[in-house]
Copies of this chain bind each other. A is one copy, B any other.
Amino acid sequence: MFIFSPAMHVGAKKIGGELSERLSTGGFRFTPQRQHVYAVVLQKRDHPTAEEIFIRTKRTMPEISHATVYNCLDALVTCGLVRPVQLERGATRYCPNMEEHCHYFCDACGEVFDVPLQKDSPMKTGLKGFKVDHFDIAVHGLCAACAGKTKK
């Protein structure tokens, strides 16, 4: 039987169960690779790219391949456990926070901040006949630290 990676120290059993359930609901199998990738995405919620997730996953599963990381991420996205985030031209990032929130992106240092949406947003009914599935809100600018540096 598969022993869960030491990287995943908090609520492993619960998260494993949730993952397993979601995967099978989505018609996917529960595999060690998917478990590792999901653990990596949950562990450091800094909106990593697929490449970054690949590197981190290799630490506990050195034989994992590039294509598998993409496959796992696609499965996780389809199952609603992870969201893809496009903040700039280039690599897609991944976010395991499935609450309704927006991303504040610092154009200077590249850091991403999750900010919950307070009120029910106006996107729900903005276009007649359009059936909304979800929305992505990216706010660009300078984070407090970078704004301070620039000003002086």
Contact = CB atoms under 8 A, between A and B. Distances in A.
Contacts of A141: 130-134
Contacts of A33: none
A135 B141 CA distance: 8
A40 B104 CA distance: 32
Size category of the A interface is: 35 or more
B138 A126 contact: no
29 contacts: A84-B89, A86-B87, A89-B92, A104-B130, A113-B127, A113-B130, A115-B126, A115-B127, A121-B122, A123-B139, A126-B139, A127-B139, A128-B144, A129-B144, A129-B147, A129-B148, A130-B139, A130-B144, A131-B141, A131-B147, A133-B142, A134-B139, A134-B141, A135-B137, A135-B138, A135-B139, A135-B140, A136-B140, A137-B138
